[in-house]
Structure 1
Amino acid sequence: MLLDIDDAIFDATNHQPVLQLLEMVADRRHDWYPTLAQAEKADALVRRLIQAKIQMPLLEEWVQQAFIEASNPIPVADRRTVPVGVADLQRAVADLAKPAVLLVENEFGDGGFVRAVAVAFGDDRIIEALERDPKWLTIYHGGGKGQMPQLAAARCREFSTVVRVAVLYDSDRKRPGPSENEGKVKQTRDVGVDHVHLWTWRMMENYVPLRVWDDHFPLKSDAIDGLRRKAVAERGYIDIKRWLVGGGKMPFPLFPDELNLTREDFEELGIDAVEELQRVLSMINEIL
């Protein structure tokens, strides 16, 4: 997350949360662009640690880089900024140290899709968040959309001041128009989740490039060619699962690493779908 840190925290008597916060910044888990005066205060704190023979090499390296960055214009960011002050310092640091939460209908299917899109679109921030140990981003299984508003509320309660939860819903649309799941979206927003996305097309599988189906179903070329001949908009609303497996189980994993999907693979879906996928990645970045 992009932080706006009040430099008064450096005058706090308890240095532990300050150091934890700076370590997360130094590790590029969260971003902070200090002013020169703030960089000097951070440097003074690190120097006191060195004098006390407390070694924090990552923080020492970051402070030196902070002086260089402070002399340059602050980057313009379209991400939300999270204020961190003295009054709520410990609670904010605790929230920022927890993994962000993405709630989906199917952890393995939807989770694998999010990772595949992040890789294809070169979103290194999301990729790192998913691959870190411990993770910076966890994907929770919603078990279908029935209880997702309640599950989202439970995940929100795990945060004190900086709620870092996002939710993805299938629309289940069979054609363009209203979705029966819009009520679930509203319920989810009502319990405190600001980051909710309802897929425009029927479900996640409708956004899967044909190269994935070619790989999984080499003996179903007629069915896949049928998809290929459809207009993109029509393909977006058909029941892909029934079309390919008659309503049975889909392959697992749906996105094998060796496929190496690229942005060009997703561009076959059309510009509107590509822009929607980018919005979903941006939404996830908002909670990281």
Structure 2
Amino acid sequence: MRVEVASDAFTTGGFEDVVTLMRYFTEDRHDWVVDPRQLPAIECFFSEHTPSRASTYTRFARKASVSARAWTSSRRRERADTISVTADSLADHTADLGRSAKVVVENGDADRSFLLAVARVFGRERVIAAERKSWLEFTHSGGGGELPKRARHEAAGFRLLRRVVFVFDGDRMTPNERSKHEKVAADLRKDAIEGHILIRREVENYIPTKVLAAVKGRQSALTTRISLLKSLIPEQRAHIDIKNGFADKKTKQAVVPAAQAELFATLPPATVKGLREGFGEGLPQLLEREVEAGNVKESDFAALGSEVCEELKALLALIDRII
């Protein structure tokens, strides 16, 4: 996070917290924003209280002041949220900035793999590094019904800064359908917990088609299913059950759910039958492996629709802001 430390925080009483903040800044955990007018007071404080580190800290302060000026003059403000730390808030802010930021998801393993893979593809290296260093953690809630409770539990661990983001599956069977999570998401936002509801049905609906070619199984049958999937129009691709296909849970026959009858009305019966099995479990983890192998690019997501890239970039920016 971008952090301003007010001049009144540089006092003997706040010494230990100030030094802790300096560690966060020098290890690049958080970004220090310094007003050039603060430099004399900052240099005096460190010279008196940390003489052995004074030159290092004051040099870092000067560098931070230059970065602050460059930031102010720039029109690109992706991480524009800046925390102002005062003498009164110093202890609480320092405690909050030392905790891991939390992304609360429905499925810890699958959603973590998906979001880290997407972060790598879209160049959000800060997200990757933060997760690797445990500055960012993905919290498993066990499903959409439990997610609000878990998000509030994580938020309660912070004193002033609720560095928590939630991510719900859309669970939308058709385009323009209102997600069943809208109300609880609105309630979470009222409690200063930000988050996102996926526009498509599930994370699997965001996985590029080329990744599915790496699914294990008989190659000829897989090739046929992929070909049939490519024949779907974008709206159908966004809301089909990628994991389970059109298989009825009881009869195992190929059946289009009643709620999707109009959406898939144009599909030939042979296509419905051919997509009966879907592509199985573990697709987000497969995406992560393919991304790490260098087999996936931003253009592969764009092939699903330009709005996919826009949505995923916005979601990553939301996560980046709490790191």
| Fold conserved between structures, TM > 0.5 | yes
Q: How many residues align?
A: 283
User: Hey, what does 1:250 align to over in structure 2?
Assistant: 282
Residue pair 1:120, 1:262 contacting (<8 A) in 2 also: yes
Normalised by the size of structure 2, how large is the TM-score?
A: 0.80
CA contact (8 A) 1:33 1:74 kept: no
Question: 5 Å matches for 1:107-118?
Answer: 107-118=108-119
Secondary structure at the counterpart of residue 116 of structure 1: helix
2:307 corresponds to which residue?
272
Give distance in 2, aligned partners of 1:197 and 1:168.
5
CA contact under 8 A between 2:34 and 2:61: conserved in structure 1? no
Matched with 1:46 is 46
1:223 aligned partner: 225
Residue in structure 2 matched with residue 283 of structure 1 by the alignment: 318
In structure 2, relative to structure 1, the CA distance for the partners of 1:281 and 1:67 (3 Å cut) is closer
SS in 1 for 2:201: coil
The residue aligned with 2:163 is 164
User: Which structure 2 residues correspond to residues 135-284 of structure 1 after superposition, within 5 A?
Assistant: 135-176=134-175, 177-190=177-190, 192-217=191-216, 219=219, 220-243=222-245, 249-251=281-283, 253-254=285-286, 255-256=288-289, 257-284=292-319
Deviating more after overlay: 218-227 vs 166-175: 218-227
Q: In the alignment, which residue of structure 2 is the partner of 1:85?
A: 86
Q: How far apart are the structure 2 equivalents of 1:274 and 1:171?
A: 16
Query: By how many angstroms is 1:72 displaced?
Result: 5.1
Matched, 1:24 2:24: yes
How far is 1:193 from its partner? 4.0
CA deviation vs aligned residue, 1:195-247 (integer Å, no higher than 9, x gap)? 11000110111000112111124621111111122222220000000127558
1:26-85 alpha-carbon deviations (Å, 9 max, x no partner): 22222232121223333333333553x4x4886455234235446656354342222211
Q: Which amino acid aligns with 2:143?
A: G
Taking the aligned partners of 1:182 and 1:71, their CA distance within structure 2 comes to: 40
Distance 2:136 2:278 in 1: 34
Could you tell me whether the CA contact under 8 Å between 1:99 and 1:136 is conserved in 2?
Answer: yes
Q: Distance in 1 between matches of 2:94 and 2:158?
A: 11
Distance (Å, rounded) in 2 between the aligned partners of 1:271 and 1:98? 35
Query: 3-state SS of the aligned residue for 1:236?
Result: helix
- One-letter identity of the residue aligned with 1:74: T
5 Å matches for 1:98-113?
98-113=99-114
CA distance in 2, matches of 1:126, 1:155: 19
What is the aligned-residue identity percentage? 28
C-alpha contact (below 8 Å) 1:39/1:66 kept by paired residues: no
Q: Which segment drifts farther, 17-26 or 105-114? A: 17-26
Aligned CA RMSD, in angstroms, stands at 2.3
Structure 1 residues 157, 96: closer, same or farther in 2, change over 3 A?
Answer: same
Question: Hey, what's the Cα distance between the residues in 2 that align with 1:162 and 1:75?
Answer: 27
Instruction: Name the CA distance, whole Å, in 1 between partners of 2:307 and 2:156.
Output: 35
Q: What is the DSSP-based 3-state SS (H/G/I as helix, E as strand, rest coil) of the residue aligned with 1:179?
A: coil
Residues 282, 140 of structure 1: CA spacing in aligned structure 2 closer, same or farther, 3 A cutoff? same
Code of the residue aligned with 2:122 in structure 1: it is F
Could you tell me how far 1:22 is from its partner in structure 2? Answer: 2.3
Quick one: which amino acid aligns to residue 178 of structure 1? R
> How far, CA to CA, are the matches of 1:114 and 1:252 in structure 2?
9
* Shift of residue 6, structure 1, vs aligned partner: 1.2
Distance 2:167 2:284 in 1: 20
SS at match of 1:40: helix
Q: 2 CA distance for matches of 1:253 and 1:287? A: 24
Partners of 2:198 and 2:159 in 1: how far apart? 29
User: What is the CA distance between 1:24 and its match in structure 2?
Assistant: 1.4
Corresponding residue number in structure 2 for 1:62 = 60
Structure 1, unaligned stretches of length 5 or more? none
> Structure 2: where are the runs of 5+ without partners?
246-274
1:15 paired residue number: 15
1:222-279: per-residue Cα shift (whole Å, max 9, x none)?
1111112222222000000012755853357332122442211211121111100011
Measure the CA separation in 1 of the matches of 2:68 and 2:311.
Answer: 35
Closer, same or farther: CA 206–189 of 1 in aligned 2, 3 Å:
same
1:121 aligns with 2:122: yes
Alignment CA distance shift 1:287-1:246 (3 Å): same
Q: Secondary structure at the match of 2:174?
A: coil
- Give the Cα separation in 1 of the matches to 2:241 and 2:132: 32
Is the 2:36–2:62 Cα contact (8 Å) retained in structure 1? no
- SS of the equivalent of 2:210 reads helix
- C-alpha distance in structure 2 between counterparts of 1:73 and 1:147, whole Å: 40
